[in-house]
A and B are shown apart, each in its own frame.
Chain A
Amino acid sequence: MSPTSTTATTATTPAGGAPDLDRAEVGTVVRVSGPVLEVAGLHAARLYDVVRVGAQSLPGEVIRLDGGVATVQVFEDTSGLRAGDPVVGTGAPLTIELGPGLLGTVFDGTQRPLAALGAEHGIYIPRGADQPGLDRGRTWDFVPSVAVGDRVEAGDELGTVQETAALRHRVLVPPDIRGVVEHVRSGPRRVDEVVARVAGHDVQMLQRWPIRRPRPVRGQQPLSRPLLTGQRVLDGLFPIALGGAGIIPGGFGTGKTVLEQAIAKHAEADVVVYVGCGERGNELTEVLEEFPQLADPRTGRPLMERTVLVANTSNMPVAAREASVYLGITMAEYYRDQGLHAVLLADSTSRWGEALREVSGRLGEIPAEDGYPAYLATRLAAFYERAGLVDSLGSTPRQGSVTVVGAVSPAGGDFSEPVTQNSLRVAGCFWALDASLARARHFPSINWTRSYTTYRLGEWFDEHVAEDWSRLSAWAVRTLQEEGSLLEVVSLLGVEAVAAPQRVTLRVGRMLREDYLQQNSFDPLDASCPPRKQVAMLRLVKAAEAAMTAAVESGRPVADVVAHPVLRTIAGARGWPADETLERHLEEAAATVRAALTTAPTTKEELR
């Protein structure tokens, strides 16, 4: 039986999947060392099969087979296990449940819904606690899109349910089924009830999928559209493509989590899967408390309705941490296949890398760099390659995407470490966070000289936002670079050593940094900035540059010009509403700057 089969099964466990009765068997523990066990007697086990260990039925995964011994990593604390304890092989890999009801739910790394666990077990998560991923008590009003006698293919829409007020969830023909619809039922159904019968297969809304295997698609599309994030430094300077991959490396306290959360809140996506991988419990709680209060920028509905949270805190078992990123991307792919645009945010992928290192160390594998296993690069690449803009399976054309943004926590803030280096090889965007910017409270603290994007999206922006977008963006990057090298000169020789035009460049660079790049995620008017407003802001800075240059050329002392108080009003653009008043705001602000710089100084204040 394939793992995608949707026929009724007895296994409802998130880690159990559909058991293969031919391969189900019982072995015994021969060695326990932390979360790693050696088990004898599992002859039919395959790599990554799920097993259940001991009296508490702790879930684990086969990670090595050697002779008659299977090495198993357990997703729970192993205290109390001993040689001779029974181990049940389920004959299936780590498989999760997909279907309506994922949105708005908080799962742990093995897809146990945390609210249900809490209702049953209180404030702590006991070992061996079990809950199915999807709520069996809830019904969904299934509206068929096919009729008896229709011929359907894998990926075709069988029907829909309204998962949230804003999202119509397509129930698709599972990837391994095709043929004639023999039976279809409308009306309220639970996820594990049969809604259709196709070529002899009963189909439920609930489908299962092994998390380590990418879901199949018809084909990949070139990446030519951006995923708008509402963050000026990202969209304006280093945009990410819809279906692309980006990484955010940064030492602690540089604002990775705040940036990931800002993207989760403001990105132009249908579905956001947020994986807190080995992170702080209190921060996840903040997301849990905040997201239901915030509105989705596209639909106005509570943000939580488009969000799936995977919460694996740093003190949860290591093996579940490794599983959590795969859980997240599999759920994102599931919505992608429905023709939706999903974003996967993983905070932080380094914890996942460290989980690999920890288990590898316990297996006694030969370490590569910094103790990480040699297959780290392969694993990271395979994960990031699951991002993409795709044509879904099915006879009607449908495009969906998964965009992946991974935070990286390099040890000591040093980007030369293996997780950062291996991730940047496969990710198209490199958004380098900078501790010195963070310390000066310049947020988002993305370093504009180290960061880059390899996606060519200028054309899209020129066509859809403003024809001078690419030019403005290139001008901003160039000015910031010039300012950087000029600042080095200033730090050696003093500001007087710099010629007048360069002093103007210095001032423009500062404006770009302080007034344009900085963005306050806690200010409602500034938290998200649509592209039109970004253009207006850049045009204003450019107008100020022209006015300063003109003033200097007309003979005003450059020191007066660059210190003119009117230049401080430019920061006010961050508070402009992004509506039809933008043009008027821009014209007025630019006129004010021009007027102030062309008239002679009149007050002591201006001369100071």
Chain B
Amino acid sequence: MTPTDAPNITARARGAVAAAPVGILPTIEMRDVRRVAGPLLVVEGADNLAFGDVVTVVTDDGSERDGQVLEVDRTRAVVQVLGGTEGMGQANVAVRARFRAAVTGVGTDVLGRVLDGAGRPRDGRPDPTAEAYRPVNGLPLNPVARIHPDQFIETGFSAIDGLNTLVRGQKLPVFTAAGLPAAEVAARIATQARVPGETDEVVVVFAAMGVTRREADFFRDQFTASASGHRNVLLLNLADDPTIERLLTPRVALTLAEYLAFEKHLHVLTILTDVTAYCEALREIAAAREEMPGRRGYPGYMYTDLASLFERAGRVHGSTGSLTQLSLLTMPDGDITHPVPDLTGYITEGQVVLSRDMAGRGIDPPFDVLPSLSRLMNAGVGVGRTRADHRGLADQLYACYARGVEVRRLVSIVGESGLTAEDRRYLAFARRFEEEFVGQGEARRTITQTLDLGWELLGDFEPDELGRVGAEHIARHHRPTATTATAARSQS
């Protein structure tokens, strides 16, 4: 199906499934409802409906709700109702066919707006003008049309820039646990991210799925009230909004984002939060459809479903824009092997992990460096992007920190007295690394500041202990601290 431009359509875009020009269906009302269960409704005599069709469900009191066809056979259709089935019965409902496949109006007019989870205005202003209509499910990007992401984004966080570098077009989620400042981290990245040497501003498409009113207010403040608010768009699906709309929210957001990035050449940062709430909605719908449950009750197709969201990121030939995804995901009980973070980690290009352990030790922001990873880092660092020593330095910091953490575990068993002098240096390094490098507080660091700080921390080690960095970088950047310098002098 090719996306259809419809400049001559006078009907304004009323959100995702509200108005669409493609494949409008003849108005037929189906009143023979056989079953109402959860968000689902089974209607008989629906032989002209197709899989994926959008319908309106009308109750006798005149209220209208949108719905989508999940399954059809010769006579019956299973319809999932957006907005819930409350107050619906077998006798008081009619299903009206609308059009084929859910589409949404897209355009630059949405910037600066606050919409609901299905793309309708939530800010009391009129509907944004649609420049075109696009199916919300999108189409797979042709891998040969992609450009491998390699443009470094400076977020200002040392733990990200220095060790798990983010690049334009990457999908890098933040794995967090309940009660950790993930929203603040995401907001800071969104507001302070920049590409060194460029002045292009970033457009933020923010999709909140199942957030509380209080969180929604926070995001509204961050993204629309600020100076760059006119360049951002918020889609808010609150915790008490219909579950079923939650499945639509990221799709509408990504359809908008793809249009802005690949057709309007903008640098788009899409923030989806919270992926776990989305997956719970998926599970709820699957259970209502009486599908075979998979791990922890989540449906077996959750990987495919999540991939259909996360894969909508990147850069493509023929566009100077980019679509970067930064999603927030609350790990239930902080468990990274839970199906939601597990499947997400298999799809995304790495993950940034926040941990309660770090927060408990006063490290702010509480990045847990060891399980964090950026798979696209190699392309984004080095000569011409950050600095020649970046890759080796990051590996060295990782290796030293991992050893330090290992020693710390040892201390908890045998005590510090059982340690060699070498072990003690790694232990001290791990502490400084967490407090100074990771725990940067409110400060925003440039990449040069981040890398220089890394070298400063490595000052406690001898050059030949730094096996991960090249000799030329050691000569240039390594400044042994006082104690090692003394040792070096006595040697000569």
Query: A residues engaging B (CB < 8 A)?
Result: 30-34, 38, 56, 77-84, 106, 114-115, 117-118, 121-127, 251-253, 257, 278, 280-286, 288-289, 311, 313-316, 318, 351, 354, 357-358, 361, 364, 367, 370-371, 409, 411-414, 435, 439-441, 490-496, 514, 522, 559, 563, 565, 568-569, 571, 603-605, 608
Contact of A281 among B23, B146, B378, B491 (CB under 8 A): B146
Return the chain A residue nearest B291 by Cβ: A361
In the complex, which residues of chain A have a beta carbon less than 8 angstroms from the beta carbon of B391? 522
Contact of A118 among B142, B311, B342 (CB under 8 A): B142
B143 and A284 within 8 A (CB):
yes
In the complex, which residues of chain A have a beta carbon less than 8 angstroms from the beta carbon of B414? 491-494
For window 280-302 of B, CB contacts with A under 8 Å fall at 291-295, 299-301
A565 and B464 within 8 A (CB):
yes
* Size of the chain B interface, CB-CB below 8 angstroms: 99
B490 and A126 within 8 A (CB):
no
In the complex, which residues of chain A have a beta carbon less than 8 angstroms from the beta carbon of B413? 491-492
B137 and A32 within 8 A (CB):
no
CA distance A354 to B304 in the complex (A): 9
Given A80-B52, A316-B140, decide whether A285 and B395 contact each other with a Cβ distance below 8 A. Answer: no
Given A278-B307, A358-B304, decide whether A80 and B101 contact each other with a Cβ distance below 8 A. Answer: yes
Contact of A608 among B294, B300, B310, B487 (CB under 8 A): B487
B464 and A79 within 8 A (CB):
no
Return the chain A residue nearest B399 by Cβ: A441
Query: B residues engaging A (CB < 8 A)?
Result: 1-2, 23, 47-53, 70-75, 100-101, 135, 137-149, 169-170, 262, 291-295, 299-301, 303-304, 307-308, 310-314, 316-319, 337-339, 342-343, 345-347, 349-351, 370-371, 373, 375-376, 378-379, 391, 395, 398-399, 402-403, 406, 409-410, 413-414, 418-422, 462, 464-465, 467-468, 487-488, 490-491
Return the chain A residue nearest B313 by Cβ: A282
A124 and B337 within 8 A (CB):
no
Counting from the closest, the 4 A-B pairs by CB-CB distance are: A494-B418, A79-B52, A314-B307, A412-B337
CA distance A453 to B340 in the complex (A): 33
CA distance A289 to B312 in the complex (A): 20
In the complex, which residues of chain A have a beta carbon less than 8 angstroms from the beta carbon of B101? 79-80
CA distance A568 to B422 in the complex (A): 14
Given A440-B399, A495-B418, decide whether A282 and B149 contact each other with a Cβ distance below 8 A. Answer: yes
Most buried by B among A280, A311, A411: A280
CA distance A457 to B142 in the complex (A): 42
A568 and B311 within 8 A (CB):
no
B308 and A315 within 8 A (CB):
yes
Return the chain B residue nearest A85 by Cβ: B50
CA distance A492 to B139 in the complex (A): 56
Given A32-B50, A79-B50, A313-B311, decide whether A106 and B144 contact each other with a Cβ distance below 8 A. Answer: yes
In the complex, which residues of chain B have a beta carbon less than 8 angstroms from the beta carbon of A358? 300-301, 304
In the complex, which residues of chain A have a beta carbon less than 8 angstroms from the beta carbon of B295? 370-371, 411
What distance in Å separates the Cβ of A20 from its nearest Cβ neighbour in chain B? 29
Return the chain B residue nearest A256 by Cβ: B346
In the complex, which residues of chain B have a beta carbon less than 8 angstroms from the beta carbon of A252? 342, 345-346
CA distance A490 to B149 in the complex (A): 45
Contact of A30 among B48, B52, B73 (CB under 8 A): B73
B139 and A126 within 8 A (CB):
yes
Contact of B72 among A32, A125, A412, A435 (CB under 8 A): A32
Given A83-B73, A124-B141, A282-B349, decide whether A568 and B464 contact each other with a Cβ distance below 8 A. Answer: yes
Given A114-B144, A414-B337, decide whether A78 and B301 contact each other with a Cβ distance below 8 A. Answer: no
In the complex, which residues of chain B have a beta carbon less than 8 angstroms from the beta carbon of A413? 337, 342
Given A314-B307, A413-B337, decide whether A124 and B142 contact each other with a Cβ distance below 8 A. Answer: yes
CA distance A266 to B23 in the complex (A): 52
Contact of B490 among A286, A514, A604 (CB under 8 A): A604
B74 and A31 within 8 A (CB):
yes
B301 and A318 within 8 A (CB):
yes
In the complex, which residues of chain B have a beta carbon less than 8 angstroms from the beta carbon of A493? 414, 418
A282 and B148 within 8 A (CB):
yes
What distance in Å separates the Cβ of A135 from its nearest Cβ neighbour in chain B? 15
Contact of A439 among B144, B343, B371 (CB under 8 A): B371
B142 and A285 within 8 A (CB):
no
B491 and A285 within 8 A (CB):
no
Return the chain A residue nearest B401 by Cβ: A440
A281 and B342 within 8 A (CB):
no
CA distance A117 to B145 in the complex (A): 10
B467 and A31 within 8 A (CB):
no
Return the chain A residue nearest B351 by Cβ: A253
A281 and B311 within 8 A (CB):
yes
Given A84-B47, A439-B371, A604-B490, decide whether A514 and B73 contact each other with a Cβ distance below 8 A. Answer: no
CA distance A582 to B307 in the complex (A): 48
Contacts A34-B51, A80-B1, A121-B142 aside, 11 further interface pairs with beta carbons under 8 A come to A79-B101, A115-B144, A282-B170, A313-B143, A354-B304, A357-B294, A361-B301, A411-B339, A493-B418, A494-B419, A605-B491
In the complex, which residues of chain B have a beta carbon less than 8 angstroms from the beta carbon of A414? 337
